[in-house]
């Protein structure tokens, strides 16, 4: 796919088109002034002039247009959004299940919970935490690959009767690359052969020092099966969240990310979305990926009907005309605009795969010297 002309690229780079042309020539690449360039050529040329190019999806570009500015006084603190990662069988699902079962959202009777890909709990200290219930770093990487940033804190689960395993290392790497702070959960301490110190030592060998070894990483020994230490882990997550000073503006149209979506034969398309700013309400016109629709009903993971959902709240919504993909952004807008943008996105997706250039990116990123 070709994006912009050599001339336009030169303008973005703040150099003359002749400089661009002669630079290319010196590498044996012949280009004309009005020649449209592909992604590879753009990246190469920009790099030669000290710029890094970021290609963002068409969806992201239109989402940015829909975003509303926040006033400082409208920002209020919001719950942390947590992803649990770690090696297979180290206890991610057990931990998520234990937390979901034991921490009931305030004022609600315990009913049958349904899996909607995310849930929020209120801890015994009265604070809210949202968990993405899509364990495994595949979900984390898939979302990030789509440009979605939905995790504030990563909990890395390591079984105390095992060791730091390849997927543990991978999970740590993913969190580090994403700049997401980690809290370590050393699980299965109820087992006779559990050896938490061996795990801490293995982490130390990776340059990760946990707190009781004089380092900066919070670490909790626990048993997801017996429930030992889980409340303490939640308090450590909250402490980490306090450092992050997470804030969002609830007083505007909602924006956020799609966690999962499916088609229910009786109900139609169901999408679990995470509200990241603003407040989502029944009747709002939601645009998600290349689908849209009016929110007809909104449910939490306990099946409770909601009329609105603020920042950091995961909700299942009913009313979209299709199933968006996990990691798609959603916005609230007018029906006309939703229809128009959804159609344009579909067209763009067809025409050029998922990528389009955001023309101003070159200007926004500084010179890299
Ligand atoms: P995941 O693959 O990381 O999701 O791991 P699971 O949660 O499915 O757990 C794998 C196995 O370890 C299951 O048989 C669990 O019952 C067991 N398990 C998980 N946590 C604990 C624990 O704290 N203690 C003990 N003894 N077993 C556990
Ligand atoms: Mg599992």
pLDDT in tens, 192-222: 999 999 999 999 999 999 999 999 999 999 9
Distance from Cα 89 to the centre of ligand 2, integer Å: 7
Q: CA 30 to CA 24: how far, in whole Å?
A: 6
Give yes or no for residue 365 having a pLDDT over 60.
no
134 lines ligand 1 (CB under 6 A): no
Q: Is 115 annotated as a binding residue?
A: no
In 3D, which of 98, 135, 90 has the Cα closest to residue 233?
A: 98
188 CB under 6 A from ligand 1?
yes
Give me the pLDDT at residue 108, please: 52
The response to whether residue 7 sits with its C-beta less than 6 Å from ligand 1 reads: no
- Whether 255 contacts 330, CB under 8 Å: yes
Confidence (pLDDT) at 61? 61
Pocket test for ligand 1, best of 90, 91, 97, 232 (most atoms within 8 A of CB): 91
Read off the pLDDT of each residue in 22-40 and give the average, rounded to a whole number. 88
CB 147 within 8 A of CB 57: yes
User: In this predicted structure, what is the pLDDT of residue 141?
Assistant: 75
Q: What is the pLDDT of residue 367?
A: 32
Confidence of residue 361 (pLDDT cuts 50, 70, 90): very low
Assign 36 a pLDDT band (cuts: 50, 70, 90): confident
Ligand nearest the Cα atom of residue 90: 1
Q: What is the pLDDT of residue 178?
A: 86
Work out the pLDDT band at 9, boundaries 50, 70, 90. Answer: confident
Which one is predicted more confidently, 368 or 99?
Answer: 99
For the segment 317-329, what is each residue's pLDDT rounded down to a tens digit?
999 999 998 888 8
Q: What was the pLDDT predicted at 85?
A: 93
φ, ψ (nearest 5 deg) of residue 264: -100, 130
Query: Which residues fall within 8 angstroms of residue 278, CB to CB, at 6 or more apart?
Result: 68, 248, 249, 250, 251, 252, 253, 254, 255, 310, 311, 332
**Whole-number mean pLDDT of the chain?**
87
Residue range 136-189, pLDDT digits in tens? 666 777 777 666 789 999 999 999 999 999 999 999 998 998 899 999 999 999
Q: Of 43-57, 114-128, 239-253, 300-314, which gets the smallest average pLDDT? A: 43-57
Counting from 1 in the atom list of ligand 1, the atom nearest the Cα of 226 is 23
181 versus 354: the higher-pLDDT residue is: 181
Backbone phi, psi, residue 117, to 5°? 90, -5
Flag whether pLDDT at 272 surpasses 60. yes
Instruction: List, for residues 117-133, the tens digit of each pLDDT value.
Output: 899 999 989 999 999 98
pLDDT in tens, 73-101: 999 999 999 999 999 999 999 999 999 98
- Cα(275) to ligand 2 centroid in Å equals 25
What letter would DSSP give residue 104? P
pLDDT at 292: 97
What proportion of the chain, given as a percentage, has pLDDT over 90?
Answer: 61
Q: 76-77 and 247-248 as β-strands: parallel, antiparallel, unpaired? A: antiparallel
**Distance of alpha carbon 189 from alpha carbon 23, whole angstroms:** 62
pTM over 0.95: no
ipTM score for this prediction: 0.99
Q: Are 31 and 6 a contacting pair, CB within 8 Å? A: yes
């Amino acid at each position: 796919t070709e994006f912009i002309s050599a001339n336009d690229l030169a303008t973005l780079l703040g150099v003359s088109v002749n400089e661009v042309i002669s630079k290319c020539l010196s590498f044996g690449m012949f280009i004309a002034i009005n020649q449209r360039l592909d992604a590879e050529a753009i990246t190469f040329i920009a790099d030669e002039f000290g710029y890094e190019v970021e290609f963002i999806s068409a969806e992201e570009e239109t989402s940015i247009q829909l975003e509303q500015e926040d006033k400082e006084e409208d920002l209020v603190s919001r719950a942390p959004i947590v992803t649990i990662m770690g090696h297979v069988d180290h206890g991610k699902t057990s931990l998520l299940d234990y937390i979901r079962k034991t921490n009931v959202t305030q004022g609600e009777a315990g009913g049958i919970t349904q899996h909607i890909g995310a849930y929020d709990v209120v801890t015994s200290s009265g604070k809210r935490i949202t968990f993405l219930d899509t364990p495994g770093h595949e979900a984390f990487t898939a979302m990030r690959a789509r440009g979605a940033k939905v995790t504030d804190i990563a909990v890395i689960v390591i079984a105390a009767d095992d060791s730091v395993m390849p997927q543990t290392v991978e999970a740590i790497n993913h969190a580090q690359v994403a700049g997401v702070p980690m809290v370590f959960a050393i699980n299965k301490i109820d087992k006779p052969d559990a050896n938490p110190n061996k795990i801490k030592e293995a982490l130390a060998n990776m340059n990760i020092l946990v707190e009781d070894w004089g380092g900066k990483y919070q670490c909790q020994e626990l048993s997801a099966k017996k429930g030992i230490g889980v409340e303490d882990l939640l308090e450590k997550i909250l402490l980490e969240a306090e450092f992050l000073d997470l804030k969002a503006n609830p007083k505007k149209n909602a924006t956020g990310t799609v966690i999962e979506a499916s088609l229910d034969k009786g109900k139609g398309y169901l999408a679990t979305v995470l509200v990241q700013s603003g407040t989502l309400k029944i009747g709002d016109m939601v645009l998600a990926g290349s689908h849209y629709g009016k929110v007809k009903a909104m449910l939490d993971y306990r099946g409770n009907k909601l009329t609105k959902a603020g920042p950091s709240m995961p909700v299942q919504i009913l009313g979209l005309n299709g199933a968006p993909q996990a990691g798609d952004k959603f916005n609230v807008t007018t029906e006309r605009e939703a229809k128009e943008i959804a159609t344009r996105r579909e067209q763009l997706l067809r025409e050029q795969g998922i990528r389009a250039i955001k023309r101003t990116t070159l200007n926004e990123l500084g010179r890299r010297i």
